Every structure is written in C-alpha cells, then in structure tokens.
Structure 1
Amino acid sequence: MYIYVLTHFLFLATLIGLPFFPLQVDQFLMAEALISVLLEQLASITIQQVQQQVKLVVDVKKEVANLTHYFRAIEAVLKDAEERQVKEASVKLWLDDLKDVSNEMEDVLDDWNTEILRLQIETQEKEDGNALDTTKKKVCLCIPTAFFCSGQVSRVIFRRDIAQKIKDLNERLATIADIRQKFNLQYTKSSTEHIERQKTTSFVDQTFGRVDEKELLVGKLLSKSNPEGQSPIVIPIVGMGGIGKTTLSQLAYNDKRVQENFKDRIWVCVSDPFDELNIAKTILARLGGNVNSISSDLDAFFECLQKSIEGKKFLLVLDDVWNQDCMKWANLKLHLQKGAVGSKIIVTTRKEEVARMMGAPDNTINLKVLSDENCWSLFAGIAFANSNQDECRNLEPIGREIVKKCKGLPLVAKTLGGLMCCKKEKKEWQDVLSSEIWELHTMEQHVFQPLLLSYYDLTPMIKQCLLYCVTFPKDHVINRKVLIELWMSQGFLVSIGNKKKTIIDIGESYFDDLIRRSFFQNFKKDEFGDIEKCQMHDIVHDFLQYLTRNECLIVEFKGGEKRIELPADNKLSHLTIMFAPYSPFPFSFDHCQRLRTITTFNCKITSLSGELILQLKCVRTLNLSGNNIEEVPDEVGVLVHLRYLDLSSNRRLKKLPDSLCNLVNLQTLRVDGCDGLKKLPEAMGKLTSLQHLHAQGIRHLKLPKSIARLKSLRTLDLWVVIEGEGSGDVEGFRLSELRDMDELQGKLFIRFMGKLKDSAASDAEKAKLVNKKHLLHLVLAFNFDESKGNQSTIQEVVLNALQPNSNLESLQIRGYYGSTLYYPNWTSSLINLKSLTFSRCHVFYYVPLSVLGYLGSLERLRFERMFEVKKVGFEYSLDHQVILFPNLKQLEFDYFPEWEEWDHDENDATSSSPTCFMPRLSTLSIEYCFKLKTLPYFLPRKTPLLQNLIISRCFILSQSCKDRQGPEWSKISHIPNITIEAKIVQNDGV
C-alpha cells in the first residue's frame, strides 16, 4: 500500500557510484529486484485510485506504462554503467542524475499514496457519522505539501500538483533513458559474474591460539563412535569470514595423531559454485587415480570414486562450502559411503544452512573470536618478525591498542601485522591507531574481500537491510523487533509474489538469514529460546561503513562541542548522532534535506525547533530516544513521509502534540519510559497505518477510545488499563475496544484497576481475545484491595470471558483473589501453552496443581508471592495410566511464607500408582518458603531427568536436606546439582 521502494536506489546509486576495491559488487541484480517492487507498488496505487473513483493523476495507466518502459530500459544497462563509471566521468554523472530522479520520484509517489490514504480516512469518517465530532475541533487532518518555504507550510498538496510532478519526473526519466544510448551501454542479462575466490590448501602458514578448538576437532576426528552406522561422519566448522575456519582445519589436518589415524587424507577447496565433477576429480587425483583416462561423464567419475575409496578410512576436507542444494550434496555423499567405518569429512562454511543440510547438528563447531592475548600473539608474531627487542618494547603499547581493533578476528590481526611489519617509527604506528579500519588501504583486499563474498551471497533485498545496520554504533545491542520495524520504515520489507507473508514475517526471515550467515553475534535469547538481541562484529560494521561512506554518517561529539556543521552538497541519507551535549538540537539540515534517517545514541538533546522539523521533509525514521526533550513541536505533523518515531525514555516529555495524528503513514510509535506522559492524543484513530505502539514503563497511560479504529495494529506494548468503579473516567478506554484488533501479535497486558465494574464481564467477552490468533503472550492483572470487598466471583466471570486463542504460548495471572487458586474454564484449551505464571494471587489456603497436568506443551510453571497459601496439592483420583505435565521442565515456587505442606495421598509413596508426574522435569526451585517441611513425594522415582534442585531461604526444609543426612535427603540423592541456600552440591548420587 505504501511507496517505500525507490529509497533503495539511494544505496544502489551510492554503491555503483563509488570507485570500489578490486572486487565488483553485484548491484545490477539489486536494481532488477527493486524495479520489480516499484512497478508492483505503482500498480497497487493505480488500483486504489480506481477504487476511490477519483483521478489524482490523469491518464494514470499511461504514466505507469511510461515509467515501466523507462525503468526497464535503464535496468538493462545498469551493470555496464556501473563498470564504466569509474573511468568515464560522463557515465558517472548519468548515474547521479538517475539517483536524483529516483529520490524525488519516491517522495512524489509517497505524496500520491498519502493523498489516497487521506481520501480513505475521509470516507471512513463520513461512514462513522459524527463519531469523531468531539475531536475535530482539536485536530484537523491536513496533509501538507512535501515542500516548504521560509519555515512555514506553503500550502496543502493539490491533486493537480501530484499529477504535474509525476509528469515532470517521467519526462526527466525519459531523458535519462534516452541519454544512455549516447554511451553505447551494453545490454546485460540478469546472470552475475562470481567474485574470484582465493584457493586454499592443506598447508598451514601460521599457528595461533586455537588450542582448545583444535583438540576438540582432533577428538571428533579420532572418535570411534559411529551413530546409527553413519559413514562417513560429517564435522562442519561454521563462522564468519576471516575467523579462522580454514586455519583450524589445516591445524587438525596436519596433526601427527590425525596423520597416523588416516592414511588417506584429501583437501578440496570447494568455494562456489559447488561442482561435483571437480570435487570428484580432486579426490581421485589425491588417491592416485588417473583422472585423464576417465570420460568427462559425472557417473563415470563417481563410479571410479567409489572403487577408489572402498574399504579405506579417509579424511576429506571440503573447505569453503556455500552450496545449499541438498540434492548435490546427497549425490556426492552417496558415493563416499563405500569408505571404511571411521571415515570423516570436515566442512568449513559461513552458513548454518549448510551444516544443517549436511545433517550434522551435533558435530558442528561454531567458531568464536580469539581472546585478546591470542590475538596479540598472532599480530606480534608477524609485526615484529624483523624487529629487535628495543623496537618491540618501544612499539608494544601502541601495538596492543591496535590489536583491540581486531576484536578477536584472526584475519584482521594477520593483515594489520603484515601492515605494521615494515613500519618502524612510532608516528607511523600512531597514525594507524588513529585511523578507522576501513580507511586503511590494505584492508580492502585482505579483510573486506572475505566479507564481500558473504555480502555478495545475499539476495538484493537482504543486502539493503544489512547496509542499514551501519546506522547503529559499534557494539550496540540490536533488538530484533526494533531492527525489523526500522527496516519496515525504510521500505525494505516488500513481498513480491508471496501475498501470504506479512511484512513482519519477511523481516523475521531476513534477520534469521543474516544470523545464519554469521553477520550477527553475541545472541541473547528469551525464555522460549528465540533470539531477542544480538550485536555486530566491529569489522562487519567497518565493512558496511566502507560500502555506505557517502550516504551514512556517524557523528560523535567530543571535547565539549555543542554544534557541528554538516558539509554542503553532501549525499547523506542516514545520520547517526552520538554523545550530543545537554543543549538544543545541535544541527541544521539546510544542506542535507534528503535525509531518510536521523537517530541519536547517548545524547542529551533538550529541544528541537519547529524550523528544524520543517527541514526534514523526506525523513522516514526519526529516533530521539534517551534525550531530555520536554516538548515535541506541532510542526511534526507535516512529516508526511515519517514511518517510525521513537521518543522513548524522554522522561520530561509530558504530552504529544495533536498534530501527531496527521502522520497517516506512521507505522511505529515508541514512547517507552516517558514517565511524564499521561495520555495519548484523542485523534489517534486517524493513524490508520499504525502497526506498532510501544509505551512500556508508563503508569496509568490513558488510551483514547479512537484507538479502536486501528484495525492494522499488531503491537500494543503497554498496559491496557481498565478503570474500576469510582475512577470518574466515564469515557475511558474499555476492554470492548479491542474487539476489531484481530491482527494483534506478541504480548498483551491488561490491568484492572480498583473494584471491577458491573460491565467488566460483558466488555471482556466483547474483546474477543479468542479471535486474536497471532497473540502469543497474555498478562492479566487484577488490583486487589480489601476495602473494595470480595470480588472473587466477578473475577472468575471476567477471567472466563477473556478466553485467548489456543495459539497462546505464555500466560500470567496476577492479583487474583479467592480462597483457592482458580483456573479459568478455558485453561485446558491452551494446547500450545509453554509458560504459565501465577503472581501475587491472594489465595487464602490452597493451590491445586494436578488440574494443570493435562497441558501437554507446558514447559515452565511458576508460582510467586502467594502470601497466605498453606497447602499445595498433587491430588488425583484415577484408575488408569495417565501422564501429568508430560513436558514440564521447570517448576518454581517463590515466596510462600505460610506454606506448610504438600497435599497428596500418604500411601502413594509406596503404592504402584498408574499416574506419572512430570517425567521431563529438569529444574525444581523452592525459595522463601519459610515453613515448608518436606519435598514432594514423587521426586525419588518419577523424575529421572531432574538435574537441578534449588532450595533457598527455606529454613526448615534446608535443615532436612543438609549435610547429606537429613530426613529428606533420600528423596534427592539422585539429583546431580543441588543448591541449598547459596551452596552448590555436586552430587555423586550416593
């Protein structure tokens, strides 16, 4: 629906306009994909225009046809133009013109789309009648022009202006298409030339600190285990380019123990493409076969290969594998199975897909960076090879600082060591230390080449997503969801052909692809094992800075600077600001009005003026989080292209301007941690493009009723506060307003304040949580107040009315009031529930457990802060075989100060009960249960997988298990890891 796409020409023109290092980046393929997306978006706008029965652009089909013709004509010669522009200035100017027209066209098409969106909103308002009359006096929807004069909005965009601009740009594009013929640019097919890849051999040129990894690999090679009769066993080594996969393989390959174990050792540099014929030839040649006597037929080679290896125990190294075609691998492996038991194959690759495709997840070695000391040893061994002791001592302090730039990457250490070995003067070393890695000429060929190979292997769409990551500072912890929302704001997540995949689905797949190809590292996972955060290696960041150095800029304030002037005539699209001091916004954007991104990190900006806002006519992403901004100017409402606005952690911010509701293209709004913010603008319902609203950490944020109109909302990351009786908020947000938000994803937090109203159950039922199939995590919180009387009955009714979809994966219920812990009658329908938590529930006596035992997917069950509970029960009455809690792995009890006993049949400990409890339980945690005397009866014989027992601040129970001789010790003597108070016991099982 929205026009994101032409912004990608910014990256395209940048990269094809740079005198690149000796390797050529394939931008033609990227241009081809982007133009395809552009044409799809143009067609979409055409359809919308017809549906709206208006003519924003006269002869729209003709204009689209012309655009299609010209772009396809230009696309066909882009590859040739990219190669010639380095030597021919006229071709470079032609490409610059193409970039400028593309940028302007993007904005005009966005205006076109926005005008259609405005019409849709107007139509909806007419259909709703006078529903929004109360807010129209406060906020009028005005779609301002994309061009401003003297800091003031010149006038509203008229449809004829959009039409005229489309025609003008179409004519300019026609001229550019015609001029290409002057240069005699050659037509290039979509196929691409592969970058020349360095060949490897089994000879190792430099040993370095991989002692542990080498021993691990050698151990796997010498292992006699042969699971399920597999032969040969595959051992993949996975890691980013330059991390030492090949060197590690060489070290193991040449190890004396390995040489003695494998009489036949073969090293094959595979690279790309994966050529089975060449691989078979190499193996045969190393085994002494006469490959020249064999016909070039692949079957003939494979037949000879089988005969050559039959009965032999061999070691085969397939170095630098990129191929993901399982059929090619299966065909090769099939003919290697004639080798003797114990044969091994080492595969080095940058792609986790390759390791999985080869079916060896348990044997995979994921190679990490070197330690600082090992990195220094590698560097020093090269840099000081021809130096005397005095020179070494003199230069070592600077050298150690230089090594920090390597961030544990051996390829960089070796390259920098080679660079420094001929430099003997301190100043020369200091110059290298003060330079950025990407500014050092030697890095281009030796360090960036391997990274370029990985970059080259990405699809065009994923390339631009990776390039955008340079807007983060080095070492920044990247939040997965934030990154995907940023990609979305720039228009990088566009589905071509597959209409079933949502934009978020596309972003998730791109993120996962970059992980599998080792562009990200240092992963942090959530409770379900999904990657939540990550970082990018500094050298990857340097590489991206190199690729985007004319388009992306990171500005760091140092030494008390309060203002920096950006250079005139720059081509900036993305600006990152760091360490700006406590002062008004420290830039003017007079000379860079085509900015798409402005983002701040570790800044203390206090304000930004309306005049400044008016300079940002093209901005898509505005991140002002973590500053000290007290007020957002009304002029923010003119930023019609804005998709992403982050104001989070501006704790002095007290309100958002009503003009914010003019941002009809806004997709993401973040105000997390804005403590002073009490409510959102009344006309939020006009933000029909809004998909993600984040407002965590704000107490009692009032939502306007108009939010119910946001049917596209996917993320409502805040506490939906439902006021109780006596709040005085008659017109406040009601739970029933959620009824049409069926696209909600992720988490939903609902808090009931005070005494529940009589309408609470009816509103809860109207919320239709059961229809929200993408909602995976739900938190329901009641505010217990003894002065409000006993509300357990109405809480039960409300809970039962809030039935979620069966896709729910985690549920928390807080503050429930009653004599016995109540489980909603829909609990058994949660067939996908993995985590269940009850917190601060005011239960006076009893917590039954067995009722939850039929939740087959449940992995974690937690009870916390149950102040009055005296008994926890495992009661059951069954005469047939049943497994309760079949997949539960973690059971946790935290702060039960009155809990005294477990409720179960006293005779069950010795009876042959047909019931099986928690067969997969691995961790049991009992903390702050001061009066509990015993452990559950089933521990000795019904939890064979229990690995961890934690007993903390349970004074009576701790004494019963202490020193391996208390009365409860017999129940837990089989558990390997036991923590009593703060002491960890490594149990020998005796």
Structure 2
Amino acid sequence: MTELALSIAENVIKKLGSLAYQEICMSQDIASNLTKFQLTMSTIQAVLMDAEEKQVRNRALSVWLEQLKDVFYDAIDVLDEFVCEDLRRKVVETYGNTSEQVLHSVLYSSFNPLGFRFKMGHRIKKIIERLEEIAKVRAQFYLNERLDDKSIGQREREMTHSFLCDSNVIGRADDKQKIVDLLMRPNDDNNAFVIAIVGIGGMGKTTLAQWVYNDERIARNFDTRIWVCVSDDFNILKLAKEILKCAGGRISENMTMDEVQVSLRNTLNEKNFFIVLDDVWNDDRSKWIDLKNLLIGGAKRSKIVVTTRIQEVALMMASGPIHNLKGLSEDDCLSLFLMWAFKEGEKQQYPTLIEIGKEIVTKSKGVPLAVKTLGGLLYSKFDDRDWIFIRDNEIWKLEQKENDILPALRLSYDQLPSSLKQCFAYCSLYPKDHIYFSDELIQSWMANGLLHKSNESPQELEDIGLQYVKELFSRSFFQELSDFGYCYIFKMHDLVHDLSLFVAQSDHCLVENTNNRKNYEKVRHVSILDYNLGANELTTFLHKLNNSARTIIFRNEDVDPINVNESFFKTCISRFKYLRLLDLRFLRFEVLPSSIGSLKHLRYLRLRRNKQIKKLPNSICDMQNLETLILDGCGGLEELPRDIRKMISLRYLCITTKQSRLLENGIECLYSLRTMIFYKCLKLESLPEGIQCLTSLRRLEFTSCESLMSLPRGLKYLIELESLIIFDCGKLNLMEGEDYPTSLRSLRIGSLPQLVALPQWLIRFGNTLQVLIIHFFENLEALPEWFPYLISLRKLVIWACPKLSSLPERMDCLTSLKELEIGYCLQLRRNCKRDVGEDWPKIAHVPLLKIV
C-alpha cells in the first residue's frame, strides 16, 4: 500500500502558499504557473483521503498514489529552489560572493536572475504537465472529496459490550484489584469520581474494564451499572440517551436534549451509579463538561471509569487516578498464546511447538491482542514450518484479520493529523529499543520540512516539534517520556515501531542487511544499520538508492568506525543532489571534500566522533540552508571554517575543536542559532565577546571543556535562553557575578570542583526554573536555605553527591514539584526513606519519587 500521499501533498500546498515563493517569483509567468499549480494540487488533495482508504481493495489505485507521490516529492524539490536562491541572495547582499560562488556563476549561470527565471519556469511547467497527466485517470476510481474526516478507522471499530468470560482473562488480577479498590472508596465531593485506564491499542483496557464491571463487589456496591461504548462520536445527546436507556429510563427517538436531561436526572437521582465510558477519543473539554453536568445528582459513591488511548483525554476527564496499563509478563503471555493456538487439552501433544511458541510470544512485547493475533494465526496448525515462519517474520509482515493487533493500532494512526503521520513514519528509521532524544528527532523532522507554522504565528519550529512529541506521547505512540528541560527522552513500544514500519515501508527503510535484494527505487529516507560493512560495500549500496533520496543515516554506533574514501563521497555528493539530512556518525575520514558545498538543499549534517578530520572545507559555508551542524567528538578538528558566519540558517550547532579561542566574526554572527553546544573543547579558554548578540539562543551547553575559565560575557542579554548545561569544566567558577541569564527554565550542573555550594544567583529563577539537575558534586554538603524559593520547580534530580545528607527545611513548600530523583547519595537516601526517614515529611507530597 501507499501511505502518506495526503501528508506530502499538504506539504506541497503549504510551500505554494508561502509568501517567500510569492515574493521571489520575479516574473508574471512563474507567478501564473504557481497559481495554476496550486489549483491543480487542491483538486487532487481533496480526493487523496478517500484514495488512501480505498487502495486496500484496488491495486491500480495504489500505483496511482505512488505516481502522485513521485511528482509531489519532485515538486517540493523545485519549490525549495526558490528558498535556496532567496538565502543565497541574502548572503551575497551581506557578505558578497565567495570565489567558489563566482566560478560557479560563470560556469553555470545559476545565479543569473534571467537564467534562474527561465530554468524555474521550465521546471514548474514540467511538474504541472506530469501532475495533470496523472490526474486525468482519477475519474476511473470514483473518488469522493473528503478534506477532513478523522473517522476512517473508527467506522471499522466494533462496538464493545460489558460481558466477559472470566476464564479468558490472564494476568490482570493486580490491575483489577487496584481499580476495584479505587471504586470502593468514598468520594471527596458530590461529583462522580472518574478513573481513567490508559494504554496503547490492544493492551487490554476494555477487557480490564469488563472484568471490573462484572465483579460481584461492584454489582453489590452500586445501584445501577451502565456500559457505553463511546468510540469516536462523542455526541452528547446520543450518549445521554444511551446512558438513560441502560439506567432503565424511558426513551423515545424524538426526545429533545431538555427532555433527556430531565429524565436522566430523575432516573439517576440519589442513586449510586457506576458508568464505564469505553474507548474515548474526544479531547474537547467542553463536551466532557456538558456530559458530566448531566450526571451530577447521583449519590456520593457514584463512579465513572474511562478507557482511552490518549493521555490528554485521561487528564481532561479523570478527577481521580490515571491507571497506565502495562504489558503482561512473559509467563502470562505464553499462557494466553497457548490458549489461542491450541484447543483445550491439545498443547501437551506438541512440546516442540511450545518451545517455538516461547520465542514467538516475545514479538508481542506484553500486549494481549498481539498475543491473541499470533496464537490465532497458528490455531490448528501443527507443522513446525508454520510456527517457524511466524517466529522468523516481523509481525507487520504477517497477514492479519480486521480485529488483530496491527489493525487495532492502525486506528490510532488513522486518527493522527497528516503532519503527525509523516513525523511518526520517520521514527521507523530508528531501530527497536532506540532511546529517542527529542532535540535530535525534531531537528530531523525540521530538516525534512515536516514541521509547519502559519504565516501569522510567531511560534518557533522547535516549539512545534515539541508539541508533536507531546501529542504522539499523549496518543501512546511514545512511552516512558522524561523531561530533562532541554529535551525529552522517550522510547517506542516495539509493536508501535512495527506500525511505523508498516505505514512507512514505501518511503522509509531501516536497512540491517545491505546485501538483500530489496528494491530501493522508491525509498526516500534510508537508515543503514549494517555492522559488517566496509567503504566499498557502502559505496556499492549507495548506487542502489533513489537519486532523490532525502535522508541518509549511517548508524554503526558501538562498533569500529568505517574508514571511507574519496569514492564514497563522490558517490554521495554527486548522486544525491536533493539530500536534506546526511548523518555520517562514526565514519572515519581525514578530508571532507569541498564539493560538499554543492548540496544546497542540505539542512542537517552530522559528523559525530570522526577523530581523524582536521579541517572542514570553507565551501561548507555556502550551504545557506543548513540548519543543524553536529561536530561532537571530532577531536582532531583544528578550527571552524573562516566563513561560518555565512551559514545564516544555522539553528543547532554542536562543536568539538582544538581551538583555545574562536575567531572573531564567526559564531557570534549566527543570529538564527537556537542551540549551541561545546563538547570536549579541551583547549577552549573563552568565547568571543559578541555571543551576547545571539538573542535567539535558547540552549547553551559546555561539557568537558576543561580549560574554560569563564562563561561568555553578556549572558544576561540572552533573553530567550531557557536551558543552561555546565558539566565537567574543572577550571570554571560559577559562584560570583551578576552576568547570568534572567529566565532559565532548566539548569543542569555537575562535576565542577570549584563549586562547593549552589551559586546564589540561582534564586533569581524562582519563578521560572522548572527542571534542576545536580550531579557529581563531591564536595556539596548542603542545599541552601533559600532553595524552597524555587517555587516553579517541577523536577529535581540529585545524583552522586556523597556528602549531601539532608534536604533543607520547608521543602514541602515546593508544591509544583512533581518528580524527585535521588541517586548514589547514601546518607541522603537513608534520610529520605519512605515513612521512616528524617526527611521523608519534606518530600511525601511529591507524586513521583525515585530513590536509589
């Protein structure tokens, strides 16, 4: 199947509508063609949602969508040429041409305005012709216009019910007991107490709710029990009627909202009711409040249980605890699997199959529906080959029925906005069990144009990226999310990763064996995870890729670096003119060729831990589109390029260099910078005075800069600076001075032998500081008395401070503190021991405690 056609089409339309393109069209002919292009795209976009749904039953439609996607990608390349030209002109106006640019101009006339107009006009016409030719055949598919329909998957969702056979439930006894205990407690007020059960599709939320609903204690404790399958249609009148019907009230088809409300209140008045609202997707708070108001009037012990996949829905609805449903144990998974794979009493006859089954259930990663799916695929099959086939294939490659695990997870994917669908698909380029860092992921999304803001919105793209991360976490696509202030760290459940592979397979590819016979002709984003490669094998593999590849990532971490040669770079640079992201981490080479500057579409370049490279070509500064440059661990790098100030789009810069001082008129001229990291700059003593001009800077980090004597002057002028990280800088003294940031949101400091106490200037962040990480302070004996004035603090981490024995008084005043982590502080750990420690009363109010 072909996914993401609609998402990519929307990218094209957003680019067409950008003012930047309108301002630099430079001719009426180009402007007219762009208008025509936009009109054609809009008519095609209107039917793409319908086409993507119907392609399951129509192979020709899938081929048609693939052809459209090819044109869309090419269109984005053409439109990005305008961006490249606009940025080049700005640099020329400010700094003049480099010698390389002058030579290129003479040879190719690409910087000649008339030549540019002619070339771009011709390319736009070709795109329109191709698009119109493909669009001609759409009538044969009988497609309907559907511009905004989020109920595609929901129409296939079966309505749930309250009945459950107890013998079919395995491994949820503890979960059931926790929910029942909560339901038996008295309420704090007159309103119904709401408990939410949250988890990914297939985790067993409905099963758990059914088991609770049918428990004898619940039946005895409540006058009325009501089960409502909500699904996607959170229609207040419809839900109120359903509740009224289940409660035994009179109902007629033509009842008005007022009539239903009166009848519902009379029916539930003074009754202890228990309601399950199963499978809730609605995130409109006003709708929930309207429904909840209808239910006020029941007795004080009334309870509501909500099941949902979406964390934000749970937070909105639940007045009580949120129960995050975890996966089953391996033993429970095996028991459930055998129940579905064999008839009763049959499994004892097939010990060999059971052994293979133990390996198969590891694919389920604790998700009951996945276990049932895999067991169901093998029901009444007793040939070892059938079981080995299931064992050795990815779950997303196995044929599944409508109610199996991938279709269930697919419901969540279908509910995503198109922009989030592309971002989720991009996650398939990372291996299973990968630990994601939000800043890395967001920079990758940004490089590929997956983050968008309206022309009216001043919102930063990084903020939009963080919203996307939070949204995907809220919808259970990400899990175990931790906030470190400067970034989020999280993981993806293996089955959700399988879903990303499924929806991204025609565009994205994680390659674990470059010798396979897979056809890479359509793949635009490639991540190479083959540890058995040499330079020649890498170069050979590059020739298998689509010339229009957008992303190339080499992921040979934790193994010996690959020494690449000139042939590798010649292939990489000459073949892939439209690269947006090139990640060469752990590849080893001495020279980056000057031709790298010809990759004018490149937004992201990573050269992590290449210890051999000594110098970057100055032509890299001609890459005016480059937004992310990562040079961490390049210990042999003698200096930064002399014209680095010309990289006017640079937003994220991570540096390792041998320089003791950076050249003037260099990084302090990068006014677009949002993140600047100095990593293992062992000789760096100071930074240029002009750093204070980087008023857009939001994160500043110094790690293992052992010669750094002082922070750059003028930090107080960096009004956007939110995150400051200072770690392992042995000569740096932070105790005195007024020249510090004014509104930090997060601070991480550690391994600073000059520091024996927290600096006094921290108190000025009392109203802004939300995350504070203090670690590896051997001489820190006490936190200051003013520490409780950090009233905005949400997360506090104290790690490896062996002399710290107690917390300051009035810690209980930190009412915003939601997370406290204490590790490898032996004396402090004793004093903070739950219930009995001397300092326990100071931290008992903190919801999430981790003390090791």
Q: TM-score range by the shorter chain?
A: 0.7 to 0.9
Does the CA-based 8 Å contact 2:603-2:625 persist in structure 1? yes
Per the alignment, residue 743 of structure 2 pairs with 806
Identity %: 29
1:576-630 Cα shifts (integer Å, max 9, x gaps): 2113325102513255111111112236432152321211222111122234444
Aligned to 1:298: 257
Tell me which residue corresponds to 1:747.
Answer: 700
1:121 and 2:91 matched? yes
Partner SS, residue 700 of structure 2:
strand
1:358 paired to 2:317: yes
Indicate the residue corresponding to 1:570 in structure 2: 521
Q: Following the alignment from structure 1 to structure 2, what is the Cα–Cα distance between the partners of residues 88 and 821?
A: 69
- State how 1:391-470 maps to structure 2 within 5 Å: 391-442=349-400, 445-470=403-428
Q: Cα deviation per residue 1:323-351 (whole Å; 9 max; x = unaligned)?
A: 11222221221121221221111110011
1:594 aligns with 2:564: no
Structure 1 residue 677: Cα displacement: 2.8
What does residue 716 of structure 2 align with?
769
Please tell me whether the aligned partners of residues 758 and 784 of structure 2 are also in contact (alpha carbons under 8 angstroms): no
Of 857, 873, 896, the residue aligned with 2:791 is 857
Partner of 1:347: 306
Q: Show the counterpart of 1:712.
A: 672
What amino acid does structure 2 have at the position aligned with 1:594? Answer: S
Aligned ranges for residues 873-952 of structure 1 at < 5 Å?
894=802, 918-920=809-811, 952=826
Code of the aligned partner of 1:34: N
Query: Which residue of 574, 581, 595 maps to 2:532?
Result: 581
User: Structure 2: how far apart are the matches of 1:836 and 1:386?
Assistant: 55
Q: Equivalents in 2 of 1:316, 1:111: separation in Å?
A: 58
Residues 1:217 and 1:610: Cα distance change in structure 2 (over 3 Å): same
User: How far did 1:372 drift?
Assistant: 1.1
Change (3 A) 1:110 1:272: same
Judged with a 3 Å threshold, the aligned counterparts in structure 2 of structure 1 residues 808 and 347 are, in CA distance, closer, same or farther, namely: closer
Counterpart pick for 1:109 among 79, 104, 107: 79
Letter in 2 for 1:516: S
Q: CA RMSD in A?
A: 4.2
Residue 188 of structure 1 aligns to a residue in which SS?
coil
> Once the 2 structures are TM-superposed, how far is the Cα of residue 551 of structure 1 from its aligned partner?
1.9
Residue of structure 2 aligned with 1:509, choices 446, 464, 467? 467
Match of residue 650 from structure 1? 610
Q: Flag the 1:947–1:649 CA change in 2: closer, same or farther, 3 A.
A: closer
Cα deviations by residue, 1:519-549 (Å, 9 ceiling, x for unpaired):
01133443x6x87211111111212222222
Distance 2:461 2:708 in 1: 41
Cα shift at 1:485: 0.8
**Corresponding letter in the other structure for 2:424:** L
- Deviation, structure 1 residue 208: 1.1
Q: Does the 8 Å CA contact 1:606/1:630 hold for their aligned counterparts? A: no
Q: 1:546 corresponds to which letter in structure 2?
A: F
Contact (CA 8 Å) 1:589, 1:616: kept in 2 or not?
Answer: no
8 Å CA contact 1:353–1:516 kept in 2: the answer is yes
**What is the CA distance between 1:231 and its match in structure 2?**
2.8
One of 491, 497, 504 as aligned partner of 1:548: 504
Once the two structures are TM-superposed, the CA of residue 63 in structure 1 deviates from its matched residue by 2.7
2:38 maps to what in 1?
Answer: 68
SS in 1 for 2:522: coil
Q: Is the 8 A contact 2:444 2:581 kept in 1?
A: yes
Match for residue 24 of structure 1? Answer: none
Matching residue's letter, 1:919? R
Q: Which runs of 5+ in 1 are unaligned?
A: 1-12, 17-26, 127-131, 146-152, 558-562, 728-732, 786-791, 861-886, 903-915, 924-944, 962-970, 979-985
Cα contact 1:607–1:630 (8 A) shared by 2:
no
Aligned to 1:312: 271
The correspondence for 1:623, drawn from 571, 575, 583, is 583
Q: Deviations over 1:99-129 (max 9, x none)?
A: 3332222222222221221111111114xxx
Kept in 1: contact 2:583–2:605 (CA 8 A): yes
User: Any idea what SS the aligned residue of 1:718 has?
Assistant: strand
Q: Check if 1:260 corresponds to 2:217.
A: no
**Mapped contact 2:766–2:792 kept (Cα < 8 A):** no
CA contact (8 A) 1:471 1:575 kept: yes
Structure 1 residue corresponding to 2:624, chosen from 664, 686, 694: 664
Read off the aligned partner of 2:511 and give its amino acid letter: V
State whether structure 2 residue 583 is matched by structure 1 residue 607.
no
1:461 Cα deviation (Å)?
Answer: 1.0
CA distance in 1, matches of 2:825, 2:783: 21
Paired with 1:384 and 1:515, the residues of 2 have a C-alpha distance of 36
Q: CA deviation at 1:374?
A: 1.0
Deviations 1:799-831 (A, max 9, x none): 53623223454274986979x989677964764
1:947 deviation in Å? 12
Q: Map Cα deviations across residues 29-70 of structure 1 (whole Å, 9 max, x no partner).
A: x467435412223x32222x28xxxx4x56342232222222
Task: State the secondary structure of the residue aligned to 1:442.
Answer: coil
Q: Distance in 2 between matches of 1:606 and 1:547?
A: 34
Please name the residue that 1:99 is paired with. Answer: 69
SS of the residue 2:386 aligns to: helix
- Cα deviation, residue 213, structure 1: 0.5
> Are the aligned partners of 1:101 and 1:172 in contact in 2 as well (CA < 8 Å)?
yes
One-letter amino acid of the structure 2 residue matched with residue 209 of structure 1: G
For 1:946 and 1:245, the matched residues in 2 are separated by 29
Q: How many residues align?
A: 816
* CA distance in 2 between partners of 1:813 and 1:182 (Å): 64
Cα separation, 2, equivalents of 1:842 and 1:343: 55
User: Structure 1 535/569 Cα, relative in aligned 2: closer, same or farther at 3 Å?
Assistant: closer
CA contact (8 A) 1:241 1:350 kept: yes
Q: Structure 2: which amino acid aligns with 1:69?
A: L
Q: Which of residues 481, 484, 489 in structure 1 aligns to 2:447? A: 489
Q: Over residues 727-771 of structure 1, what are the superposed CA-to-partner deviations in whole Å (9 max), with x where a residue is unaligned? A: 9xxxxx743130221111123339998797xxx8xx954x35333
Partner SS, residue 832 of structure 1: coil
User: Deviations along 1:435-472, whole A, 9 cap, x unmatched?
Assistant: 22111112665222221211121111111111111111
Partners of 1:742 and 1:946 in 2: CA distance: 32
What's the CA shift string for 1:150-187, capped at 9, x where partnerless? xxx98856552563343343354246336645653556
Q: Distance in 2 between matches of 1:782 and 1:650?
A: 23
With over 3 angstroms needed to count, the CA separation of the structure-2 counterparts of 1:708 and 1:142, relative to structure 1, is: farther
Distance 2:747 2:128 in 1: 53
Residue identity opposite 1:542 in structure 2: D
Q: Deviations over 1:693-714 (max 9, x none)?
A: 1236x67676443222210011
Which residue, out of 141, 144, 147, partners 1:190? 147
Contact 2:224-2:271 at 8 Å conserved across structures: yes
Contact 1:675 1:699 in 2 (8 A): yes
Instruction: Report which of the two structures shows the higher radius of gyration computed on alpha carbons.
Output: 1
The separation in 1 between residues aligned to 2:611 and 2:445, in whole angstroms, is 27
Q: Say which of 277, 285, 307 aligns to 1:326.
A: 285
After superposition, the C-alpha distances for 1:383-441 in whole angstroms (9 at most, x for unaligned) are: 12256355331211100111011011100101111111121111111111112211111
For the Cα contact (< 8 Å) 2:579–2:602, is it kept in 1?
yes
What's the TM-score once normalised by structure 1's chain length?
0.74
Q: Hey, what's the Cα distance between the residues in 1 that align with 2:196 and 2:576? A: 49
Q: CA deviation at 1:297?
A: 0.8
Q: Give secondary structure in 2 for the equivalent of 1:453.
A: helix
Q: Structure 2, unaligned stretches of length 5 or more?
A: 844-850
Structure 1: how far apart are the matches of 2:611 and 2:660?
14
